[in-house]
Amino acid sequence: MRTGGKRDAGRELSEKKEQVFHMLALDFRKVFQMERYEFLKLQEIRMRVGKPMIVVYEGEEYYISEQGSFTKQIGQAMYVSEAHIKESLEYISNYSMYAFEEEIRQGYVTVAGGHRVGLAGKVIWERGSTKSMRYISFLNIRLAHEIKGCADRLLPLLYQKDMLCHTLIISPPGCGKTTLLRDIIRQVSNGNRGRAGLTVGVVDERSEIAACYQGKPENDLGCRTDVLDGCPKSQGMMMLVRSMAPRVIAVDEAGSTEDVEAMEYVMNCGVRLIATVHGTSLAEVRGKPAFIPILKEKLFERYVLLKADSVGEIEAVFDANGTEKRIGREREWKAC
């Protein structure tokens, strides 16, 4: 059984690797096939017209040389041309740019494997909003790596008398809150440590949690999870409560007054809520105008604070009164 599991994981990894290759222009594809590297440590691939291609590997930036190696020497770097970007865009959009119009308008495309491609170029602005984007000259391929089990040590603190607590995860951008949320969803949905699985509804406004591609979640969110993809959070939460009867609702990066009002509605409906918010401390979130009423009412029973200057490190867990809950000795998990 274990060997089979390993083989499956290997196949999954190789599939994800292929999915990344398939987004690159042929010139770069060849180079990536030459380089020996650990795929799980590859975080980002950045392409800018007329500039060298840059990869972020294990948190450090490297250029790609024509010999197919990661290098710090700019003189050896391979440069990205306009044709490379055009070619990559064709592959990223599956030769169907028209099908990704909405995503392009928002500045990113989610592709097979759950990877996200950020786009920048000439924005066509009309009546106060982005109509389209032309002359796309900058691509940022952000590789999705699920870290199953990263919420293992945190989960026991999120339950009180076997009941999941309303939880708010606080973290600055890029510190792993979505990865942590994803694993919490998966474990709550599947059941964990003898606890039965719960039906989870996910409102994935920016396709970051489930990374739905053609309607199918590319990330494992458990067997009892329903995903509303691309739906605004405030509306999505209401829709889920009315239509899917979830026991738990999860949302990422809540921030607006509408989001907070919807969260309050959800919590008052007897549905448990897990949400994330940008911030560096509990005090900072308490100072956000939209959050003031909901935090005053002490609706959230747990606050999980992630460390600002590292990835995936839990700084502290607080209860509704702001008392710190003790987490296990090994307090950190490392992304990749």
Partner 1 sequence: MLKLLGSILIIGGCSGIGFYIASRGAARIRILRELEQILEYLYGEIEYSGCDMAELMERLSFRGGAFGDFFLGIRGKLLSHQGYRFSEYWSGELSYIHGVENLLSEDIELLHCIGDNLGNCDRGTQLRTIEIFKKRLEKTLAGATEEYRGKAKLSIIVCATAGCFLAILLL
Q: Which is nearer to partner 1, 55 or 104 (CB)?
A: 104
Count of positions (residues) in the chain: 336
Contact between 104 and 97 under an 8 Å Cβ cutoff? The reply is: yes
Closer residue to partner 1 (CB): 25 or 64: 25
State the minimum distance, in angstroms, from the CB of residue 34 to partner 1: 16
Q: Which tokens sit at 248?
A: 């738990």
Residues 6 or more apart whose CB falls under 8 angstroms from that of 318 comprise 282, 302, 303, 305, 324, 325
> What tokens appear for 244 in the block?
């899917």
Supply the minimum distance, in Å, between the C-beta of residue 309 and partner 1: 39
Q: Which is nearer to partner 1, 54 or 89 (CB)?
A: 89
Select from 162, 168, 97, 159 the least CA-distant residue to 133.
97
Nearer to partner 1 among residue 32 and residue 300 (C-beta): 32
Q: Helix axis angle, 2-21 relative to 26-34, nearest 10°?
A: 140
CB nearer to partner 1: pick between 132 and 268: 132
Q: What is residue 310's DSSP assignment?
A: S
Distance CA 18, CA 55 (A): 17
- Name the site residues for partner 1 (rule: CB under 8 A): 18, 22, 25-26, 29, 87, 90-91, 93-99, 101, 104, 132, 214
Q: How far apart are CA 305 and CA 78, in angstroms?
A: 40
> Minimal distance in Å, beta carbon 115 to partner 1?
14
Q: Per-residue b/e over 253-289, b at no fewer than 16 CB within 10 Å?
A: bbbeeebbbbbbebbeeebbbbbbbbbbebeebeeee
Comparing CB distances to partner 1, the nearer of 27 and 284 is 27
What minimum distance in Å lies between the beta carbon of 45 and partner 1?
16
**Residues 216, 220, 224, 230: is their CA dihedral positive or negative?**
negative
Q: How far is the CB of 105 from partner 1 (least distance, A)?
A: 9
Of the pair 93, 192, the CB lying nearest partner 1 is at: 93
Task: Please calculate the CA angle 172-109-95 and round it to the nearest 5 degrees.
Answer: 165
Shortest CB 66 distance to partner 1, Å: 18
